[in-house]
Chains A and B, each alone.
Chain A
């Protein structure tokens, strides 16, 4: 790891102004992506600004048709939240399927959504649940937030503060894991919203990161049954390929996990 200076601001204002004052700064949340990257000497921020003590970034609140989760909330907290479980159990299941116990107790939803790893779990829920990303300066709809592999519309220095999920009528999450890393090789978050719209968000597979699979949405819109997506495959050319799963296998898995998510509405299926 290269030399770095650690800061722990207590307010949003302090964090943002610190970021603008120093060179080569990075926000630090759970550090479960950033620190390993620094250890591997692939990232070298000169200043780490820990956002976890900023009050606005914590807490889970439930509104009539919304669940709002602070960006510094750990995966374990979401997984164990009774409030969320009562309303969107698949979101708890998703959080509970991330990494291992240690990762879940330190890694945060904000870090995951800011990082936008193409194999991460949360981005699929953000997209499928039509979330709004609240930052220190604005609110960004999920449909405009993700901007390709490890890229988002966050500006330099912009802090993700809260994530506001729209309450669906019902949702389901199914994930097929990479046998080595246990990140998603392909995972589908399927939600039927209260206005009747169906969203299918796929993570782990797209060569530009998380995406809405519109063909599957149309098929399910016509008939909200598992076999409505039978035989449906995304275009291989839009998918990633690596030693664990070339694009044709990923395309096949996307079809399987989408169907299984619909089979498991109200729950989570992790393989």
Chain B
């Protein structure tokens, strides 16, 4: 069991879950569990907010070093061009310029490509391979390419100068001799025969081609089915738009031979590991600091070329080098998200039971492959919240002359949720089923949990129909007709959309926690996750405070400096609370055990005679007690600080799930769409801090709705030029175009980890795309509109109305 997606799975049905990694309960662990929920579950206000809103945050560009210099990038204006030569003379002669470095210099210095390791590799990830099963070619990612530029905006040289303005001025004087090459930017075109090759090594651009599931069984089920419904969707390209543009400050210290990098990211430990490989140095010779991060959403998880460039340049010129992206550079070269074409087919019997499914997914990774997480994550969830006995999936990835894609909030899951939820609606519409009834009939039920889906993912727990019912209540689904009529009286079309979702959270398996009782009466917790607004300083402190029974104000979370935090998987895939929470629980138990040992010695008693209660160690049967801080002080000299370090690995994924409903009001005259209400139910497993989880859900909804309604990294296919390079053309969700959300948390405890946590950061986003588009199509149903592409801008809606009107008129005449 627990088999990854292989050709032969044991088929869907109830599975045996691997045991939680720490099921055996020591007395301390029991204590920890029993004590756990004093703060947990309470909406404590965030500890970090005071600091952040009074300007005391430490974002990357806030750091400066004496003598620092500034870097500016020379970026390719072409989507695809061979670099024949680079003339740096005029730039080098410009005021303040200290160095101009190119891809050729980089090769001469022996720098290595960034080891992105893009193919997901836990045993729960789908195994993506090249066609025929080989190791895929993913395109080496040098800090600067020496051969070709593969997308507009790719950095081909770096200029370092005394001031940022001098660097920017001189960058315009670097003359690159380009030979323009034919290019391809569109996902589907790139996979077609005869498309220009982005890499000579992969002449057809398709570098991943894997199939999963039971092909014969699926074919047989389709042949025997009463109905088959098919659809094709493109989930377009978007970008994360963090408030803080990416920034890095690199410093090489001649004396110690060590590099230091200040760069906000999704996890400093990964940056340290990969950048030390790029530079060819021992990891211990690189320190990475990542403190406050102004938005990530996946875009900052992977190493950026500029982070390596400031380190390399710093060594070359002997001074610190800083680079901060402009907003235009962020639009052009932040790692982008989504961009999947999916062809899906559903087989049904006469009663509407789902019999089988096929999916053909094509992911656009851009000019080189940084991550296959989106393709892989989505692949395991193509059947969504439904019991579909057999399924097959073909998963392909293709290079194009565009910026690289990466995991973006809820990597891969909104894409496949969009596909299955729109496909189910289409089936209901075409075959005459009620769209909710059709869903109910096919949902995975609680008694099937843990449930193995047709492509091998094991859903840990969940009450999907209950989520549906509650969401319908929250949204007052049954009151729709009245609202619909009222809108109609104003000439508006009201539509309602529904989507179920299930998603997976795996994430990097290792995490380490260190807890120390400090002399100043505080508790210090060192952990390797990296928040970018998720409130870890609060929710993690809550967990530790509960377990060792001290006031939450006394607990301080230390993150983001690789000299202090040695192991840590960073923050992505909704892993942080689950991984950090679990390892913090284990470390707390260790700490209490060590405390009991010291208390026993202190009282001259037996280890077993010591109890722990309300932050005090007690000698049983007496009124002798000692609190944990005093014990730490009294034993510091002899035993050292009261301190533990604990490592943990957890591989078993969890499956957050829920349902979302939205209502939209469409102005048929202009195509304008207004979201009038939005309700969700999210099963996050155990909820540590509902205030923070709700905040995450609200942000997640806005991000999903953003893609459905406004956001698109549009590229002009003929020139390869990005068209949405600023907020003038890239539409964003705003407070004035979002309704007030009605969100509820469902807590179905996960059996996979001791705290029962699933994840809460991405559920807002996952169903939003489908929910919004289903609502818009519902609003337009009287116009005969059955399909529309995202984003559903006024123009797109107006066009859909007119096209279908035109088609109807043509049919009528």
Known contacts: A1-B165, A3-B165, A40-B328. The answer to whether A179 contacts B794 by CB under 8 A is: yes
Given the complex, which residues of A lie within 8 Å of B793, measured CB to CB? 179, 244
| Contact status B168-A243, CB under 8 Å | no
Q: 10 shortest A-B CB distances, which residue pairs?
A: A180-B731, A181-B728, A179-B731, A180-B729, A249-B795, A245-B795, A179-B710, A179-B793, A243-B723, A256-B669
Asked whether any CB of chain A lies closer than 8 Å to the CB of B672, the reply is yes
Given the complex, which residues of A lie within 8 Å of B667, measured CB to CB? 271
**Which residues of chain A from 163 to 222 have a CB within 8 Å of any chain B CB?**
176, 179-181, 183, 185
| Contact status B730-A256, CB under 8 Å | no
Total interface residues on B, using CB and 8 Å? 26
Given the complex, which residues of A lie within 8 Å of B326, measured CB to CB? 39
Interface flags for A232-271 (1: CB within 8 Å of B; 0: not) read 0000000000011110010011001000000000000001
| Contact status A180-B670, CB under 8 Å | no
Task: From A3, A180, A243, name the one whose CB has the most chain B CB atoms within 10 angstroms.
Answer: A180
| Contact status A244-B795, CB under 8 Å | yes
Measured in the bound complex, the distance between the Cα atoms of B799 and A41 in whole Å is: 36
Total interface residues on A, using CB and 8 Å? 21
Asked whether any CB of chain B lies closer than 8 Å to the CB of A224, the reply is no
Known contacts: A3-B165, A256-B670. The answer to whether A180 contacts B727 by CB under 8 A is: yes
Given the complex, which residues of B lie within 8 Å of A246, measured CB to CB? 795
| Contact status A271-B670, CB under 8 Å | yes
Q: Which residue of B lies closest to A249 (CB)?
A: B795
Q: How far is the CB of B803 from chain A (nearest CB, A)?
A: 12
Given the complex, which residues of A lie within 8 Å of B723, measured CB to CB? 243
Q: How far is the CB of B288 from chain A (nearest CB, A)?
A: 30
Given the complex, which residues of A lie within 8 Å of B795, measured CB to CB? 244-246, 249
B residues contacting A by CB (< 8 A) are 165, 168-169, 172, 326, 328, 667, 669-670, 672, 709-710, 714, 723-724, 727-732, 793-795, 798-799
Q: Which residue of B lies closest to A255 (CB)?
A: B669
Measured in the bound complex, the distance between the Cα atoms of B805 and A93 in whole Å is: 35
Q: Which residue of A lies closest to B672 (CB)?
A: A271
Given the complex, which residues of B lie within 8 Å of A256, measured CB to CB? 669-670
Q: Which residue of A lies closest to B166 (CB)?
A: A3
Q: How far is the CB of B42 from chain A (nearest CB, A)?
A: 36
Task: From B168, B667, B727, B793, name the one whose CB has the most chain A CB atoms within 10 angstroms.
Answer: B793
Can you list 14 A-B contacts (CB < 8 A)?
A2-B169, A176-B670, A179-B710, A180-B724, A180-B728, A180-B729, A180-B730, A181-B728, A244-B793, A244-B795, A249-B798, A256-B670, A271-B667, A271-B670
Query: Total contacts A to B, CB within 8 angstroms?
Result: 50
Known contacts: A1-B165, A41-B168, A244-B793. The answer to whether A252 contacts B729 by CB under 8 A is: no
Measured in the bound complex, the distance between the Cα atoms of B656 and A80 in whole Å is: 50
**Which residues of chain A from 27 to 43 have a CB within 8 Å of any chain B CB?**
39-41
Measured in the bound complex, the distance between the Cα atoms of B795 and A244 in whole Å is: 7
Measured in the bound complex, the distance between the Cα atoms of B672 and A10 in whole Å is: 47
| Contact status A243-B729, CB under 8 Å | yes
Measured in the bound complex, the distance between the Cα atoms of B72 and A41 in whole Å is: 14
Measured in the bound complex, the distance between the Cα atoms of B730 and A246 in whole Å is: 17
| Contact status A249-B799, CB under 8 Å | yes
Interface flags for A140-154 (1: CB within 8 Å of B; 0: not) read 000000000000000
Given the complex, which residues of A lie within 8 Å of B799, measured CB to CB? 249
Measured in the bound complex, the distance between the Cα atoms of B671 and A252 in whole Å is: 11
Measured in the bound complex, the distance between the Cα atoms of B670 and A252 in whole Å is: 8
Given the complex, which residues of A lie within 8 Å of B714, measured CB to CB? 243
Measured in the bound complex, the distance between the Cα atoms of B724 and A180 in whole Å is: 10
| Contact status B670-A253, CB under 8 Å | yes
Q: How far is the CB of B776 from chain A (nearest CB, A)?
A: 14
Q: Which residue of B lies closest to A250 (CB)?
A: B795
Given the complex, which residues of B lie within 8 Å of A3, measured CB to CB? 165, 169
Q: Which residue of A lies closest to B730 (CB)?
A: A180
| Contact status A181-B727, CB under 8 Å | yes
Q: How far is the CB of B673 from chain A (nearest CB, A)?
A: 9
Q: How far is the CB of A39 from chain B (nearest CB, A)?
A: 8
Given the complex, which residues of A lie within 8 Å of B172, measured CB to CB? 41
Measured in the bound complex, the distance between the Cα atoms of B169 and A202 in whole Å is: 40
Known contacts: A40-B328, A253-B670, A271-B667. The answer to whether A181 contacts B729 by CB under 8 A is: yes
Given the complex, which residues of A lie within 8 Å of B732, measured CB to CB? 180
| Contact status B728-A252, CB under 8 Å | no
Q: How far is the CB of B778 from chain A (nearest CB, A)?
A: 21
Q: How far is the CB of B792 from chain A (nearest CB, A)?
A: 10
Q: How far is the CB of B627 from chain A (nearest CB, A)?
A: 52
Measured in the bound complex, the distance between the Cα atoms of B710 and A271 in whole Å is: 15
Measured in the bound complex, the distance between the Cα atoms of B793 and A245 in whole Å is: 10
Measured in the bound complex, the distance between the Cα atoms of B169 and A41 in whole Å is: 10
Q: How far is the CB of A219 from chain B (nearest CB, A)?
A: 18
Given the complex, which residues of B lie within 8 Å of A249, measured CB to CB? 795, 798-799
Known contacts: A40-B328, A176-B672. The answer to whether A252 contacts B168 by CB under 8 A is: no
Measured in the bound complex, the distance between the Cα atoms of B529 and A221 in whole Å is: 69
Q: Which residue of B lies closest to A180 (CB)?
A: B731
Q: Which residue of B lies closest to A185 (CB)?
A: B794
Measured in the bound complex, the distance between the Cα atoms of B795 and A245 in whole Å is: 6
Interface flags for A39-50 (1: CB within 8 Å of B; 0: not) read 111000000000
